[in-house]
Chains A and B, each alone.
Chain A
Amino acid sequence: MTEELISKKELLDLTGISYGQLYRWKRKNLIPEQWFIRKSSFTGQETFFPREKMLQRIDRILGMKDDLSLDALADVFSPSPGDIRLSVGELLERNIVTSTSLNLYIETAGKSEGMSLLGFDQMLTVYVLDKLLQSGDISLEEGRLLVQTLEEYLPGLAGKECGVHLTRKMGVAAFILVPGDVEIYMDRSVRTVARLSLARCTEELKLLVSGSEG
C-alpha cells in the first residue's frame, strides 16, 4: 500500500497558503523534510507530499497559528519529547489518561506511588496504553506487554518517528515497534489489530498537556 501523494501546486491551491508560508513552516520544522518528495514530471521536477498527513498538518497549523507562535507550534509537532513532568494525580485530574490504564502502568512498570512524577516517555507510554485500551483493541494482559515493550525501547527511540503495531496470529498477540513508521509485510495469517504513530501520539499528548495548562 503506497501513500497517496499531493503535488505542491494542488496543495497550495487547496489550502490557499503561499510559497512563502510553506517554506517558512519548513524552515521552522513544522513540516518535516522527509515529507518533501521530489519526483520528475512532464514539467520538470515537481515536489509531492503525503496527501493525508500534509493536509491534516496544514489544517492544524492554520487552526493554531493565531494562538501560538511558530516556535511554540514547532514544539508541538516535533517528535522529540518535551521536558514536561506531571504527577500521577495531575494526569488523572486533567483527564489525560484513565485510572485503569494508569494503575496498569504503575503495576507493570513497578513504579511506587512515592515517586509519582512521570517524565514524558512514561506519560507517552500511559497515553498509548490508554488509547489502545479505550478503543477496545487490547486486553489488560496485552496492555502489560505493551508497557514492557515501550518501557524497554522508548528511550532509544526518543525524537524519532515510530509506528506501534499490534498483531495477532492464531490468537497470540505481538507488539512491533517500527522505527520510521514504514510499511511492514507479514504472512497472511497475521492480523494487524491496531496501528498507532508515536509521533502523532506525542503531538496529541503535548497538546493535551499544554492545552489544559493555559
Chain B
Amino acid sequence: MTAQVSDDRRADLKIVGNGTSNGGIFNKVKVVGEGEINGDVDCRTLNCTGTLEVDGGLRIEVLKAKGTIAVTGPMSGEELNLTGNLSVRSGLKAGKARLNGEIRIEGGIAGEDIGLFGSCELTGNCQAERLRIKGALQTQGTINAEQVELAMFGRSQAGEIVGGQIRIAPHPTWKWVSLFKSWGTPELQATVIEGDVIRLENTVADIVRGGDVSIGPGCRIRLVEYTKHYHQDPNAEVGEHLNVWRNEE
C-alpha cells in the first residue's frame, strides 16, 4: 500500500535523439532514436522506436518497441511487444510476450504465454504455459510448456522438448514461398521429446515418448515409446516403436 503512494510520484523519462540515463524508477519511458541507460530500470510502460541499450536489469509492465533492445541484466515484464531485435543476457520473465524478429535470450525464459516469431537463439531452459514459435529455433536447453507449437521456417535445434501438447511442423506457407527454400528444409533436431499428445513433422529425434504420438512425414526417430495411440506416416523413418506400460485409469 505504501508503494502505491510513492508510485504516483514516479517521473517519466524521455530520450529523443541521442541520450543517456542512469536508470531508476519511472512511470513512462519513451525512447525515440538512440538511448543508453547505465543502471537498472523499473517502469510501467516502455515505448521504444529505435535503439535502447540497458546496462543492467529492465523491469517493465508494458513494452511496445520497434527497433533494437539490448539488456545485459535480467528482463521482466507483464506484456511485451517487440518487433526488431531483442537481446537479453540474464534471462527473460514475461506474462505475455510477442516478440518478432531476431531474438537472442541467454539465461532462459520463464513465462505464461510466449510467442516468438522469427529467429530465436536461446540458452538455458524455457518454461511457459503456452509457447508458440514461428521461424527457426536454436537452443541446447530444455523447453517445458503445456502447449508447444513450433512452425518452422528453416533449421531448428533443441535439446529436450517436454510438456502437455507438442506440435512441430514446417510452417504451412513454407511450401509456397520459394524465398524460404534457400534457408534449407525446415527440420528440427532434438534429443528427447516427451508429452501427452505429440504431433511431429520433419523432426529428427533420438527418443520420443508420449501418450498419443503421431509421427508425420519427414521424421527420423530412433525410438518411440507410446502408451495410448501411435500413428506413423509412410514417409517417416522410425527405428523402433514400443507400446509400453498399459496403465489405464
Contacts and interface: CB of A to CB of B under 8 A. Distances in A.
B162 A23 contact: yes
Contact of B162 (A13, A19, A43, A45): A19
B25 interface: no
Interface size class for chain A?
Answer: 10 to 19
B195 A19 contact: yes
B11 interface: no
Given A19-B162, A19-B210, A24-B146, A43 B196 contact: no
B23 interface: no
B211 A18 contact: yes
Chain B binding site: helix, strand, loop or mixed by DSSP? Answer: strand
Contacts of A169: none
Chain A binding site: helix, strand, loop or mixed by DSSP? Answer: helix
A103 to B, nearest CB: 37
A45 B191 contact: yes
Contacts, number: 52
A12 B245 contact: yes
Interface string B142-178: 0011100000000000000011110000000000000
A43 B223 contact: yes
A16 interface: yes
B206 interface: yes
Interface string A3-47: 000000100110010111001101100000000000000011100
A20 B146 contact: yes
Contacts of B165: 20
Contacts of B146: 20, 24, 27
A18 B244 contact: no
B163 A20 contact: yes
Contact of B195 (A13, A20, A43, A44): A20
A19 B194 contact: yes
A23 B163 contact: yes
Which of B162, B195, B206 has the largest number of chain A CB atoms within 10 A? B162
Interface in A44-81: 44-45
A23 B143 CA distance: 10
Given A27-B127, A27-B144, A20 B223 contact: no
Contacts of B247: 12-13, 16
A19 B206 contact: no
A20 B222 CA distance: 22
B249 interface: yes
B148 to A, nearest CB: 10
Interface of A: 9, 12-13, 16, 18-20, 23-24, 26-27, 43-45
Closest 9 CB pairs of A and B: A20-B164, A20-B196, A13-B245, A23-B162, A19-B194, A18-B196, A23-B163, A27-B127, A23-B144
28 contacts: A9-B225, A9-B244, A9-B245, A12-B245, A16-B249, A19-B162, A19-B164, A19-B194, A19-B195, A19-B209, A19-B210, A20-B195, A23-B164, A23-B194, A23-B195, A24-B146, A27-B144, A27-B145, A43-B207, A43-B223, A44-B191, A44-B206, A44-B207, A44-B222, A44-B223, A45-B191, A45-B192, A45-B207
